[in-house]
Structure 1
């Protein structure tokens, strides 16, 4: 029929998807957070959206969103309830960010708000007493002796490094970033002012510390002895770092944990605790030796509240009220 009417096909423009906007959110957040936080927190949520097209392809900017249940069920199927809840909270913050910055216009109220109860994590008793994560002084000495007397040169190489962790209470990320120029005077102070962390792009050195720009640590005879021995032993390295691998490279703490730390504890039949427990051990033993909480917090860079809460707790039944 020559008078046939041609129908015009109108393409419906698809709105921005959950994944597309979340990728923009992650790029924005990456500028202001530490690499470790980005890797452990944001990247997990991003990878979930990339793998789960059901959620990733959701059109996010709609007036009456019906995708909330779909998100919750997908998270529950993929992760443990604790991990699912952590990612769900991340999505809540993401949508709030999108609304606040007007990245989406139709959606005025965050549909994920007040729905955390839909994902109920297992109620496990959280261990807030960090003293239980510490080694005793005897265990500390056993560990260091086992490293020092190991028949493997690779293990013995890290004796000074682990001694430094135990006797300063610094974070492993801070220890591997220390350079000889950070030692002030004739072994009077250490200036902790940077950290090396694991990021999606590999190891990365960051200026400043987790909770402060820098802190000074007074060097006692134990720590001075560590530095003197390390000065004699340390292989050459371009960055003048105090603690490195046998080849003068940056220490990768994960590799060290599996090749040195875990085997040593296993052979000694000491209950496994992470290398970070060297920090807990220093704090606990310092308090038990009679140091004031405020002084200990200055040495390790914690807040007094954190130290009181996790290390200086006292059974109320043991407190005696003085006559005033």
Structure 2
């Protein structure tokens, strides 16, 4: 297909179809073409010269259709324009050209987009990321981390028409910079899909141009730029494209804090907490994602002379109550080392079946992140007469000053990767075992070690 060298009309567009050119009429003209979307072949091959001819024809036809006396000027046989149409007899020229319908709202476009997007995504990604993390800002909802609820703000984009001033709303978007970037990218994709289906009269994408990562200083490329969230972006920095907030927050416990947490779970006076101790230790010793540990069965563990590895091939989501593929969709092989092997041998029942889950709650059911989080962090339960507070293991350790600060269960993963990377573990082995990349580990886990020195030979 050849690029256009001049502008085309808004309501009569030139298109290339299987190597030949045709005209596509806007849906506003449907009433005069028997209620159907009209395409008119031009019998012209797709060449630069023919593009110019086609554009000239399109401008002439649109001029007649837009004229107040269009019924006298427009030739439904297209002979006036050097064309012929087999649909001439079907035209209803008595029907007036209606005013264009109001543009679709952002919310209506988004719901249509989600229906199309859902089959392309894993269930957890669709529900947690698209239906919640991305949808709530569009509805003007802000997450209150302290009370774990969404609050309604005064900046809803949901009911705004696509023809409105998107910039006014997007500039006041109530979410973090990373989420804002992802939401606007998704909105842009949704609009382009709408446009390709001919369901909008807008010729330009209202969400384009709002997603620049930083304000670049064009006068000096070596000066730091300013990110959308106000932080500095130095010329050697690259954007972190990870959209999962748990993956982006790569803080870690120290080795000493890790051991204190594991010991606290094992020595708890609560049986349900002690039941979770092997799971917590396993998460710290493998760096696997929690859902991968929840879905692990004994047939996924290979211990012996020739085989010493764990196979991570699935993940359990307690919210959806289903088992699916891993986050990256890949099966990973994790080499077992002595400390991890001792743990597995210690907790494996004598009568364990291959399909038995390795980690279960006291009732025999699979773990899920919500249940583990209740033991990890302080959990409050409100009843009409009384509020019950259940102290979490890690929260208590922070309050007692035994560890420096609180981090979520997901940071067991970041702790393992960070400790292994700084201990000198081969980065390729570490990256493949944890479903990561060497580049991410080098940039986000190693950083600069002030105590590092050159080796002496």
TM-score after normalising by structure 2: 0.56
* Aligned twin of 1:72: 170
2:369 to 231, 237, 253: 253
Taking structure 1 as reference, are residues 95 and 148 closer, same or farther at Cα in structure 2, changes over 3 Å only?
same
Secondary structure class of the residue paired with 1:134 = coil
Unaligned runs of 5+ in 1: 1-9
> How far did 1:12 drift?
8.9
CA separation in 2, counterparts of 1:230 and 1:316? 39
* Aligned twin of 1:91: 187
Q: More deviation in 173-182 or 32-41?
A: 32-41
Secondary structure class of the residue paired with 1:247 = coil
Establish whether residue 110 from structure 1 lines up as the match of residue 217 from structure 2.
no
* Aligned twin of 1:5: none
- Contact 1:169 1:280 (C-alpha < 8 Å) held by counterparts: yes
CA separation in 2, counterparts of 1:162 and 1:274? 12
* Aligned twin of 1:303: 437
Q: What aligned pairs does 1:132-147 form with structure 2 within 5 A after superposition?
A: 133-147=251-265
* Deviations 1:140-184, CA, capped at 9 Å, x for gaps: 111111110100001000111011111111111111111111112
CA separation in 1, counterparts of 2:123 and 2:451? 44
* Aligned twin of 1:286: 420
> How far did 1:39 drift?
2.8
* Deviations 1:49-73, CA, capped at 9 Å, x for gaps: 668997544454xxxx234256437
* Aligned twin of 1:231: 348
Taking structure 1 as reference, are residues 319 and 211 closer, same or farther at Cα in structure 2, changes over 3 Å only?
farther
2:230 to 110, 123, 132: 123
* Aligned twin of 1:182: 300
Secondary structure class of the residue paired with 2:357 = coil
* Aligned twin of 1:7: none
CA separation in 2, counterparts of 1:226 and 1:291? 21
Q: More deviation in 218-227 or 12-21?
A: 12-21
Taking structure 1 as reference, are residues 41 and 287 closer, same or farther at Cα in structure 2, changes over 3 Å only?
closer
Establish whether residue 221 from structure 1 lines up as the match of residue 319 from structure 2.
no
1:193 to 313, 328, 331: 313
CA separation in 1, counterparts of 2:433 and 2:313? 13
> How far did 1:258 drift?
2.6
If you compute each CA radius of gyration, which structure gives the higher value, 1 or 2? Answer: 2
Q: What aligned pairs does 1:200-219 form with structure 2 within 5 A after superposition?
A: 202-207=320-325, 209-219=326-336
* Deviations 1:228-269, CA, capped at 9 Å, x for gaps: 2322399x9996211121111121212311323552222222
Instruction: Name the count of aligned residue pairs.
Output: 300
* Deviations 1:93-123, CA, capped at 9 Å, x for gaps: 32123223x2524223202211347x98532
Taking structure 1 as reference, are residues 14 and 224 closer, same or farther at Cα in structure 2, changes over 3 Å only?
same
> How far did 1:89 drift?
3.9
Q: Which has the higher contact order (CA 8 A, sep 6+)?
A: 1
- Contact 2:137 2:175 (C-alpha < 8 Å) held by counterparts: no
Taking structure 1 as reference, are residues 198 and 42 closer, same or farther at Cα in structure 2, changes over 3 Å only?
farther
> How far did 1:87 drift?
3.5
* Deviations 1:188-232, CA, capped at 9 Å, x for gaps: 211100112366xx233112x223510111222222222223223
- Looking at secondary structure, tell me which structure has more strand per residue: 2
- Contact 1:134 1:278 (C-alpha < 8 Å) held by counterparts: yes
- Looking at secondary structure, tell me which structure has more helix per residue: 1
- Contact 1:245 1:251 (C-alpha < 8 Å) held by counterparts: yes
> How far did 1:90 drift?
3.2
* Aligned twin of 1:275: 409
Taking structure 1 as reference, are residues 289 and 224 closer, same or farther at Cα in structure 2, changes over 3 Å only?
same
